[in-house]
Chain A
């Protein structure tokens, strides 16, 4: 498929070095807790079969995604791993917050006129080196069981930069019924990556259609992807069954001072 081929070609040609042998850098950045996944806002709509409930942390992580009633898909008894990553592809510096963060972020600024648990909700966060600012705007579509995140990345540096922007969730679909079994079926496409159990529910991470270069990936490690090589932990075969994660990744070429926006959605299906 076209977009996947394009992504792979860019990965090989432009980011080839990032794809191999650099995962250790991610680990060496000593992830630190980001408010331990505590919910800053909880959003609930519907009930029973139509229930959609998700929570957003102060840093903009969706650590719970629940629906229908009694069925949790991200948290597995503890706050779930979900969030975002940015790679400065020029310097290969990684920035991420998958509930535990990379330690190179400034504190988040929350814009929420109605107070906690209300929309509109915007969370803005700048890297501690000031290179970029990531703004997340959260919304939902209850009838479609969708939590939507608009992500705007602004290049604050004085020169053009290419960034890789990643959204990731360690999906643990149907954990409320499967107990300690955190394994799901996983697969991905050009616009989506998803996890489910046969005959049960699933969660799909999708992009809002965009002309920006992008791809969905499965993460078979569930640790959260290396933002500089988001496809490097893809399973060798598909569909993948295990305790994995879902990824959407974008390549953003940004002139100095410019920004671009992408949208992602989590949908319970």
Chain B
């Protein structure tokens, strides 16, 4: 840890706010301002907020109408996502056509999505909650079903992708988070990152951690740590991968890869857990 400078990539809130106002952004900005090419940005407005416990047991999170987890607070006073530019969400790559579809909230969203359809019988801030979104070219439909385990501080996301293109596809499905654990390490945006066979996590030694894990599956998967906060291109997921353990302003993801016949669906599940 001491080998790294803590001053090299300090984020500037004002720069971030200015970036927010732009509809189309490009790479080449500082770390905090980084979003993917050809992306729009979505403000991390909470469609549903879920609060549990208090103090040490506090577990609060919120979801946008597009299905981004843009706040994860636990325990009280410790935020792990909603810091600086907020980035969390999903990406798809049609690997045959090299066409990407993604939505990472303030870290950028591709423009090739239709509006989501929300199924939430009890109204906002209630479960069950399901969000379905089709790509504008009618190639795929992604359905996200959200649930939680307050005791374990887990947000669970079941993702089902359906091939609606009429032809077989080879697909990657990515879940991504710009983890800024412990209030972005109290403002310097430096976390430790590492990964295992089914998990990837960001943390600070002696403080708290946010992990992204998959529910065990036979679907091919990769756990990814990027050395930048907004580098999760679903069609080039291995660009900007970090050498781990990585200490810096990084991001994390899990990528699933599979063939998907016409008209067929594949379901995978991921979980965010504070530990």
Interface residues of A (CB under 8 A from B): 1, 4, 49-50, 68, 141, 143-144, 146, 185, 187-192, 194, 196-202, 204, 206, 208-211, 215, 237-239, 269
Contacts and interface: CB of A to CB of B under 8 A. Distances in A.
Given A1-B206, A1-B207, A50-B216, A192 B275 contact: yes
B194 A239 contact: yes
B196 A196 contact: yes
B38 interface: no
7 contacts: A1-B182, A144-B152, A187-B205, A190-B207, A199-B223, A239-B194, A269-B198
A202 B196 contact: yes
A201 B196 CA distance: 6
Nearest to A7: B206
Contact of B1 (A146, A197, A202, A237): A237
A68 B56 contact: no
A213 to B, nearest CB: 11
Contacts of A209: 53, 56-57, 75, 153
B208 interface: yes
Nearest to B247: A239
Interface string B50-61: 000101110000
A239 B201 CA distance: 13
Interface of B: 1-2, 53, 55-57, 75, 149, 151-154, 182, 192, 194-199, 203-209, 211, 213, 215-218, 223, 244-245, 275
B216 to A, nearest CB: 4
A178 to B, nearest CB: 13
A86 B275 CA distance: 24
Given A198-B195, A211-B55, 11 more contacts: A1-B182, A1-B208, A4-B206, A50-B216, A192-B209, A192-B275, A206-B275, A210-B56, A211-B56, A239-B192, A269-B213
A194 B192 CA distance: 14
B216 A68 contact: yes
A201 B154 CA distance: 19
Given A201-B197, A269-B213, A238 B244 contact: no
A204 B55 CA distance: 22
A144 B218 CA distance: 17
B196 A200 contact: yes
A49 B213 CA distance: 14
B5 to A, nearest CB: 17
B218 A189 contact: no
Contacts of A50: 216
Contacts of A202: 196, 199
B-side binding surface: helix, strand, loop or mixed?
A: loop
Contacts of B196: 196-202, 269
B195 A199 contact: yes
B245 to A, nearest CB: 5
Contacts of A200: 196-197
Contacts of A204: 275
Contacts of B223: 199
Contact of A189 (B199, B205, B245): B205
Contacts of A141: 152
Nearest to B185: A1
B28 to A, nearest CB: 31
Nearest to A194: B275
A198 B206 contact: no
B206 A189 contact: yes
A238 B1 contact: yes
A68 B206 CA distance: 28
A269 B211 CA distance: 10
Contacts of B203: 187, 189
Nearest to B211: A269
Contacts of A1: 182, 204, 206-208
A237 B218 CA distance: 37
B206 A185 contact: no
A140 to B, nearest CB: 13
A189 B207 contact: yes
A146 B194 CA distance: 21
Contact of A191 (B197, B198, B208, B216): B208
Contacts of A192: 209, 275
B149 to A, nearest CB: 8
A188 B151 CA distance: 20
Listed residue (A146, A202, A209, A239) with the most chain B CB atoms within 10 angstroms of its CB: A209
Contacts of A208: 151
Task: Sort A-B residue pairs by CB-CB distance and give the 8 closest, nearest first.
Answer: A1-B207, A49-B216, A209-B56, A238-B205, A4-B206, A209-B57, A192-B275, A269-B199
Nearest to B59: A209
A68 B198 CA distance: 11
A215 B151 CA distance: 19
Contacts of B149: 144
B205 A188 contact: yes
Contacts of A201: 196-198
